[in-house]
Structure 1
Amino acid sequence: MSTEAVFKGWAGLDDKACQGNLKFQEFEPKKWDEDDVDVKILYCGICGSDASALSGEWGPVDNVCPQICGHEIVGEVTKVGTSPDNGIKVGQLVGIGAQSDSCRECDNCKDHKENFCPKQAITFNSPYGRGNGKGSISRGGFAKYWRGPSRFAIPLPDGLDPDIAAPLLCGGVTVFTPLERYGAGTKAKNVGVIGVGGLGHMAILLANGMGANVTAISRSDSKKEDAMKLGASNYIAMGDDLKKAFEPHARSLDLIICTSNPSELPVADYLPLLKPEGTFCLVGIVPKPLEISTFPLIMGTAAIAGSNIGNPDAISRMFKFVVEKNIKPWIQKWDMEEINKAMPSFQKGDPRYRFVLVNTDNGGKL
């Protein structure tokens, strides 16, 4: 049995949307395809990308109206097409992250690396590119229901709390992917995490769960106690003199995950922390181009890398991993009816360390 969804959500209509001016209204979901599912949304995390879109940082908000953001969605399947992926059934709990579709035809898609598909659809403000839904604009999780391809609705394993799962779907998998790729706890036994925030706190939890010795790196000592509770063994407060702060820790790290996104980043100042053949990996977007001499890269055989969002298979592996290791992001829950209070609070930097919106009328629990 399925329930017919009514698609309503909190829409951004202008560049003041993030200031507490989201409007609750009906919206048009993608046109139905037989590999789609409808999902009754229980929880949705708030991510920096949502704030960037709704504040006009990525272009005028009214360029795509209405903007229904939110891409850390957890909910219950209420309708399934005749040809679903993942064996999804009505009543099942699933999670949807930052990607909602791909072309299914390129080499990346065939290799289950849909996050590299050049024609992928992001979960909000992005046109779908195939099937009946071609040309439909994707709508995210600041809503009562979500509709999209079942391939990108990842079943939650037993033992994973749905509210905890929400922030893992973007923030979590964004750091899980490079930690897994570069062998945190195995090849990379010593891992540094720059930034103790939404992504950074999950990077500490995950790297520690993988068996790595974790060093948290932050501007001041204000988050040291939290970092240690999260599983860090060491802590570096950078202060204003990076060279002085880093000198006692020279060549101590195999891998550094940079989760912060300052306007500019003096990446060369961080390289002395790396052991030979170490990797500095960015997951936060730094607007100003990086500047670095080739000499320290060559002398240390160092690599500077970036890492994309995770594909559906990576999300599934991460879900199983966090259940096995009993990893739980630190979340603060808001009734989704109070989204116009939650967004300004998020913008001020209040989360410790991730906000999750709850549709209590759909069955979510505060």
Structure 2
Amino acid sequence: MVDKLPEEEHPKPGFGWAARDQSGVLSPFKFSRRATGEKDVAFKVLYCGICHSDLHMVKNEWGVTQYPLIPGYHDGTVTYGGYSDSMVADEHFIVRIPDNLPPDAGAPLLCAGITVYSPLRYFGLDKPGMQVGIVGLGGLGHVAVKFAGAMGVKVTVISTSPDKKQEALENLGADSFLVSRDQDQMQVQLFSDQLFTKVSSTNNHLGFLYTVLGFFIFLCRLQWKQWMVSLTSVRSSPSVAFSCSIEVSWKASFGRCSGEAS
């Protein structure tokens, strides 16, 4: 808990869009940034991406929000977020956007982008000809399909909605598309190097991932309470038996699972 408000400690005027309550409505807000220190960088904000954690914080869904809150990684203490006209940040955490990358295209890359890029690299699923499944085609899913495609990986998109087939295949360049509600489609031959990356908060795919694939990765969209409910519901099913070990890091929650139908 800080003794003073940011406005009392920081002399640099700023303007942003803040949530003042759990309604989710943002309104204009004047505040102050800290002065630029020896290792700081001050910059004008042209575009700011959004992380789903921003939405959780705006609506106080985790019960820790301190209002007023400016989304874009407002840390609740002395730094308001990026939904504002300027930022001051430590130079060690600043990445220069290349001249050939439009600023609006770069805005989501250090949240949605790194969330899906990191596991593809970490698990070595970045080689041409390998097979990767993307479960869910929301914000993270779109970026995951594009990254995997750029790496030369063959991409299968799994979604609960058949309406996303055209988006996946024609607009994003996925190689194949499966509707998880279609049991006939889901009875496909999977490959040994295929990793299914879950980028959706829906739990409809979990039993399939646990029992058929034997290997899975969950990204940060899945809340801890949802994860516990999912794990419990699968373990209690009379038709499924498996053992599972979980490792958690700041980038992702992932694990290896062995299972068989009984």
| Same fold flag (TM > 0.5) | yes
Counterpart of 1:259 in structure 2 is 199
Counterpart of 1:149 in structure 2 is 90
CA contact (8 A) 1:43 1:163 kept: yes
- Deviation of residue 30 (structure 1)? 3.7
Q: Read off the aligned partner of 1:124 and give its amino acid letter.
A: H
Q: 1:188 and 1:254, CA in 2 relative to 1: closer, same or farther beyond 3 A? A: farther
Q: Does 1:179 align with 2:120?
A: yes
Q: Aligned partners of 2:194, 2:247: CA distance in 1, in Å?
A: 13
User: Under a length normalisation based on structure 2, what TM-score does the superposition of the two structures give?
Assistant: 0.77
**2:148 counterpart SS class:** helix
CA contact (8 A) 2:198 2:218 kept: yes
Counterpart of 1:8 in structure 2 is 15
- Deviation of residue 308 (structure 1)? 3.6
Counterpart of 1:25 in structure 2 is 29
CA contact (8 A) 2:47 2:104 kept: yes
Q: Aligned partners of 1:160, 1:308: CA distance in 2, in Å?
A: 27
**Where do 5+ consecutive residues of structure 1 fail to align?**
71-122, 128-136, 311-366
Within 5 A, what are the aligned runs for 1:1-366?
6-16=13-23, 18=24, 21-30=25-34, 32-59=36-63, 61=65, 64-70=66-72, 123-127=73-77, 137-186=78-127, 189-229=130-170, 230-239=172-181, 244-251=184-191, 254-262=194-202, 264=203, 267-274=206-213, 279-283=215-219, 284-286=221-223, 287-288=225-226, 289=228, 290-291=231-232, 292=234, 296=242, 308-309=250-251
CA contact (8 A) 1:184 1:211 kept: no
Q: 1:307 and 1:228, CA in 2 relative to 1: closer, same or farther beyond 3 A? A: farther
**1:217 counterpart SS class:** strand
Q: Aligned partners of 2:89, 2:189: CA distance in 1, in Å?
A: 47
Q: Aligned partners of 1:306, 1:193: CA distance in 2, in Å?
A: 20
**2:28 counterpart SS class:** strand
Q: 1:273 and 1:161, CA in 2 relative to 1: closer, same or farther beyond 3 A? A: farther
How many residues align? The count is 231
Q: Read off the aligned partner of 2:39 and give its amino acid letter.
A: D
Q: 1:69 and 1:35, CA in 2 relative to 1: closer, same or farther beyond 3 A? A: same
Q: Read off the aligned partner of 1:48 and give its amino acid letter.
A: H
Q: Aligned partners of 1:307, 1:233: CA distance in 2, in Å?
A: 30
Runs of 4+ in 1 over 6 A off after TM superposition: none
**Where do 5+ consecutive residues of structure 2 fail to align?**
1-10, 253-262
- Deviation of residue 187 (structure 1)? 9.1
**1:185 counterpart SS class:** coil
Deviations 1:96-129 (A, max 9, x none): xxxxxxxxxxxxxxxxxxxxxxxxxxx31344xx
- Deviation of residue 296 (structure 1)? 4.4
- Deviation of residue 249 (structure 1)? 3.8
**1:65 counterpart SS class:** coil
Identity among equivalent pairs (%): 33
- Deviation of residue 29 (structure 1)? 2.2
- Deviation of residue 200 (structure 1)? 0.2
**2:115 counterpart SS class:** helix
CA contact (8 A) 2:157 2:177 kept: yes
Greater alpha carbon shift after TM alignment, 41-50 vs 287-296: 287-296
CA contact (8 A) 2:13 2:33 kept: no
- Deviation of residue 190 (structure 1)? 0.7
Counterpart of 1:348 in structure 2 is none
**Higher relative contact order, structure no. (Cα contacts within 8 Å, ≥ 6 residues apart):** 1
CA contact (8 A) 1:39 1:147 kept: yes
What RMSD over aligned residues (CA atoms) do the two structures have, in Å? 2.8
Q: 1:197 and 1:162, CA in 2 relative to 1: closer, same or farther beyond 3 A? A: same
Counterpart of 1:325 in structure 2 is none
Deviations 1:296-324 (A, max 9, x none): 458xxxx76666449xxxxxxxxxxxxxx
Q: Aligned partners of 1:5, 1:188: CA distance in 2, in Å?
A: 52
Deviations 1:196-227 (A, max 9, x none): 11000100000111111100000021111111
